[in-house]
């Protein structure tokens, strides 16, 4: 099927033959983030948004107008090499493996509800905290499908614990396809977040933990906290924190720990999604960030799980930065003060 050279790409949702509102637009209370008064001065560069976006997210909004969650039904959609094509519109779900402006229509035809996303295929945290929420919509709509191949490790553990049973597809033609616009933290999405949490956290809670530190090390994209081991050891010895090492702890170990605390800390990154999904509402995720890669993307997710979000910007770059203990302690004091003002 050819695509005209130079023709503008249409939004795939515009090709829908039917659309419906799953949750209406509504006003949502977005809590302010927690950071030391001088933190803006430490920021050298931002990621996934400009500095005004970061400041706006950290301010919060007690009555933020939140768009609806929508469902869309499309017909005669081709899925080829990670791209959906319908009536001159496209949606990319992953990097294409092959170049070219034409493709052969897939021979196999199915119907299904697709719940995956570009960012979920790129980052583990977005898969766990975004795509796995959309799965709940897909299973309600009928037949959940995904182009993501089955994987092991923590992903396999979450698939089992969350009860995900999609059909894994390659290139196919959809006689009928259902998609969702589900990135807005309205009450419906928040309720699904708690449903997924309930599937993970043991019914009998573990002994309460003062905090959990999720060790990142050199995994994933570079965000190297040079004194990470020292911070983890001190938190464990002086504050009673439980330390999670993702190369040793499985999903059950992680769920037991984060389900028993109201404070999760670590270098900003997808590994903190383990803490978000299992910690109860009212808890706080505290991120440690390099000055040249400051982001509040995780706050959009803690907002959905009704948790607090704290940020501490260190000295240095993503290739190597440090966070001083005094700054950690002062930020922990701010979190404790917020908790005292707003007890769960």
Would the pLDDT of 38 be above 60? yes
- Residues 237-243: what's their mean pLDDT? 97
The per-residue pLDDT for 86 is 95
The per-residue pLDDT for 152 is 85
H or E element at residue 177 = strand 172-181
Write out the two tokens for 236.
């464990």
For residue 277, what pLDDT band results from cuts at 50, 70 and 90?
very high
Would the pLDDT of 127 be above 70? yes
Positive or negative torsion for Cα 88, 91, 92, 97: negative
pTM of this prediction? Answer: 0.92
- Residues 247-260: what's their mean pLDDT? 95
Lowest mean pLDDT among 14-23, 149-158, 232-241, 253-262: 149-158
CA count, 13 A, side-chain hemisphere, 67: 8
The per-residue pLDDT for 110 is 97
The per-residue pLDDT for 176 is 97
Write out the two tokens for 153.
């490790």
Question: Which has the closest alpha carbon to 90: 177, 10, 181?
Answer: 10
Instruction: Please state, in angstroms and rounded to a whole number, the distance separating the CA atoms of residues 147 and 93.
Output: 9
Rounded (5°) CA angle 321-323-328: 160
Would the pLDDT of 72 be above 80? yes
The per-residue pLDDT for 104 is 84
Q: Is 335 helix (H, G, I), strand (E, B) or coil?
A: helix
Number of neighbours of residue 238 by Cβ within 10 angstroms = 10
Per-domain residue ranges of the chain? 10-21+68-199, 31-63+206-341
- Residues 194-214: what's their mean pLDDT? 91
CB-based contacts of 203, cutoff 8 Å, min separation 6: none
Percentage with pLDDT > 70 across the chain = 95
Is 3.55.50 the CATH number for 31-63+206-341? no
Would the pLDDT of 7 be above 50? no
The per-residue pLDDT for 4 is 38
For residue 11, what pLDDT band results from cuts at 50, 70 and 90?
confident
- Residues 152-181: what's their mean pLDDT? 96
Percentage with pLDDT > 90 across the chain = 84
Would the pLDDT of 185 be above 50? yes
pLDDT in tens, 160-169: 999 999 999 9
Would the pLDDT of 8 be above 90? no
Q: Could you give phi then psi for residue 335, rounded to 5 degrees? A: -65, -45
The per-residue pLDDT for 223 is 80
Positive or negative torsion for Cα 336, 339, 343, 344: negative
Q: At what angle do helices 153-162 and 132-141 cross, to 10 degrees?
A: 40
Would the pLDDT of 309 be above 80? yes
The per-residue pLDDT for 143 is 94
Instruction: Please state, in angstroms and rounded to a whole number, the distance separating the CA atoms of residues 82 and 281.
Output: 36
């Amino acid at each position: 099927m050819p695509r005209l050279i130079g023709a503008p790409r249409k939004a795939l949702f515009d090709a829908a033959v039917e659309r419906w509102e799953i949750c209406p637009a509504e006003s949502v209370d977005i809590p302010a983030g927690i950071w030391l008064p001088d933190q803006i001065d430490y920021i050298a560069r931002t990621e996934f948004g400009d500095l005004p976006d970061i400041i706006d997210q950290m301010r919060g909004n007690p009555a933020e107008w939140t768009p609806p969650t929508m469902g869309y039904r499309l017909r005669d959609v081709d899925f080829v090499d990670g791209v959906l094509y319908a009536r001159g519109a496209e949606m990319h779900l992953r990097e294409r493996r092959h170049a070219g402006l034409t493709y052969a229509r897939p021979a196999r035809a199915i119907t299904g509800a697709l719940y995956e996303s570009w960012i979920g295929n790129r980052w583990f945290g977005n898969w766990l905290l975004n795509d796995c929420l959309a799965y709940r919509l897909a299973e309600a709509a009928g037949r959940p499908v995904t182009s993501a191949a089955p994987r092991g490790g923590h992903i396999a553990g979450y698939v089992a614990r969350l009860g995900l049973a999609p059909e894994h597809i390659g290139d196919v033609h959809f006689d009928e396809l259902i998609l969702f616009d589900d990135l807005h933290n309205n009450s419906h999405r928040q309720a699904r977040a708690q449903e997924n949490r309930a599937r993970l956290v043991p019914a009998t809670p573990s002994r309460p933990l003062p905090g959990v530190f999720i060790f990142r090390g050199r995994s994933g994209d570079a965000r190297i906290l040079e004194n990470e081991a020292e911070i983890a050891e001190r938190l464990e010895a002086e504050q009673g924190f439980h330390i999670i090492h993702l190369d040793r702890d499985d999903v059950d170990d992680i769920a037991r720990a984060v389900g028993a605390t109201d404070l999760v800390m670590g270098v900003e990154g997808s590994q903190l999604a383990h803490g978000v999904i299992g910690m109860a509402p009212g808890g706080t995720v505290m991120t440690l960030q390099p000055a040249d890669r400051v982001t509040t993307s995780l706050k959009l997710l803690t907002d959905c799980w009704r948790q607090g979000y704290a940020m501490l910007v260190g000295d240095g770059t993503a290739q190597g930065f440090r966070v001083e203990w005094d700054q950690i302690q002062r930020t922990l004091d701010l979190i404790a003060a917020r908790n005292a003002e707003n007890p769960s």
